[in-house]
Amino acid sequence: MTLGFPDGFRWGTATAAYQIEGSTTADGRGPSIWDTFTARSGLATGDPACDHYRRYREDIGLLSELGIPYYRFSVAWSRIMPDGRTVEPRGLAFYDRLVDALLENGVTPMVTLYHWDLPEALQAEGGWPNRELADLFADYALTVHKVLSDRVQQWTTINEPFCAAFIGYGNGDHAPGIQDEGAALVAGHNLLLAHGKAAQALRSDGGEQEVSIVLNFAPVLTDVDDAAHREAARKFDFLHNRFFLDPLLGRGYPPELLADLAHLGTLEPAIADGDLEIIAQPLDVLGVNYYAPARAMPLEDPEADSNCPLPGLRGMDVQPPRGELTSLGWEQRPECFTELLLWLQEHCDGLPLVIAENGAAFEDEVVEGRVHDEKRVRYFADHLAAVHAAIERGADVRGYMAWSLLDNFEWAMGYTQRFGLVHVDFETQERVLKDSALFYADVVARNGL
């Protein structure tokens, strides 16, 4: 049986600048927080990653060979404005060439303006807890728009503000590696403000375009269905799935969430008059990243710190995942994907959705020039079927971007986690199509599964 997708469904792959580009000092690029964080923590760095800055033509060739018509990539602020403010034309020129090369190969570019790589110079001014960054981000967005908007129609402001704010400034597992949950909440608010101001800037510059933001969602499961477990799940659900979404939809922060976080004392004072209006710029589509659900349980002491990225979300813990895990230790639950999309359809009053990322890391091996990654093929097949089921039940899903085109630099995990449709040998930079790439190309060609 074929599971057909709607006509015009957008099939693509996604990447992010710091995870693939390498060449971190080329053409005047300034350091980003990921350069300094990885160096300081002794972690693997984004150099050379996939050396995509120099090999982008080869990589775009893979897209055209596979017949995948959309490509979501991010622009590095630290290439465009090495100090966060002053334009470096050579950095802009790279993305100009990249967009031309995509279009020459019949691939439609989708730009994400911020995928976590803040210029270090702006971290030196306090980073995202400093609200001035919202205006600077809007200036940067406009600068990129002026150069690419004659050829790019799909614009995403920010990727996963949850991770940028709470993992960057909350538990500090990501750059800039700061552990200050009060500051993390302010960072979250300022990222939303930056989104709103950038959306205004992009629209003020004219042109036909779709403006979106990409959020990561995790449906929250519990082992037991009682009041205490439901409340634990509610807390994590509101932090993870609604902190960013509800203000974007014009509803402000959910009152229960404000109450959960009130004792930290920083979020409400950070909300200036007019901020919520700026944040609630109309979205043309919502970008949805889904990988896995979360599990929550109540703590006996309702005042006890949480083990989640924001310890001050008291009285609940996130529990270990279950079943057959990916190599990153993530649970595989395609049915949660269907439920998530149906919930979003309802909660966002019919706002069109695009899956901006979905995929899985497994331990792959090249054997006689082939990579038989059955587990990834199964993950994609199951999750695409889950998207299809949501569409059948009324979700307005317009597209799907597989994460990722290439094995790449997986943030704090370095090069240990392979998410690519294409295997990358990080010593030789040789690319090998995995079976999942051929599987996905076939889905795209049939517009169905």
Instruction: Tell me the sheet residues that pair with 119.
Output: 32
Binding-site ranges for ligand FCB (CB under 6 A): 16, 19, 159-160, 163, 216, 289, 357, 403, 410-411, 419
Q: How far, in Å, are 281, 337, 388 from residue 449 at the CA level?
A: 36, 17, 9
Q: How many CB atoms lie within 10 A of CB 272?
A: 11
Q: 123 or 417, CB closer to ligand FCB?
A: 417
Q: Give the span between the Cα atoms of 185 and 261, in whole angstroms.
A: 9
Reference 160, options 250, 75, 287, 271; nearest CA is 287
Q: What share of the chain is helix, strand, coil (3-state, %, to 5)?
A: 45, 15, 40
Q: 314 or 418, CB closer to ligand FCB?
A: 418
Spatial CB neighbours of 90, under 8 Å, sequence gap ≥ 6:
27, 28
Q: 215 or 390, CB closer to ligand FCB?
A: 215
> Please, what is the minimum distance in Å from the beta carbon of residue 76 to ligand FCB?
13
Active site residue 357: yes
Q: 13 or 149, CB closer to ligand FCB?
A: 13
Reference 114, options 94, 140, 135, 82; nearest CA is 140
Q: 35 or 410, CB closer to ligand FCB?
A: 410
> Please, what is the minimum distance in Å from the beta carbon of residue 210 to ligand FCB?
19
Q: 236 or 411, CB closer to ligand FCB?
A: 411
> Please, what is the minimum distance in Å from the beta carbon of residue 337 to ligand FCB?
15
Q: Give the span between the Cα atoms of 163 and 172, in whole angstroms.
A: 10
Q: 297 or 328, CB closer to ligand FCB?
A: 328
> Please, what is the minimum distance in Å from the beta carbon of residue 257 to ligand FCB?
21
From the candidates 120, 160, 181, 331, give the one annotated as an active-site residue. Answer: 160
> Please, what is the minimum distance in Å from the beta carbon of residue 289 to ligand FCB?
6
Burial class (CB in 10 A: 0-12, 13-18, 19+), 98: buried
Active site residue 410: no
> Please, what is the minimum distance in Å from the beta carbon of residue 268 to ligand FCB?
28
> Please, what is the minimum distance in Å from the beta carbon of residue 411 to ligand FCB?
6
Q: Give the span between the Cα atoms of 79 and 360, in whole angstroms.
A: 29
Backbone angles phi, psi at 311, to 5 degrees: -55, -30
Backbone angles phi, psi at 374, to 5 degrees: -55, -35
Question: Nearest-5° angle of CA 218, CA 220, CA 221?
Answer: 135
From the candidates 120, 331, 357, 410, give the one annotated as an active-site residue. Answer: 357
Q: How many CB atoms lie within 10 A of CB 203?
A: 15
The alpha carbons of the chain give a radius of gyration, in whole angstroms, of 21
Catalytic positions: 160, 357
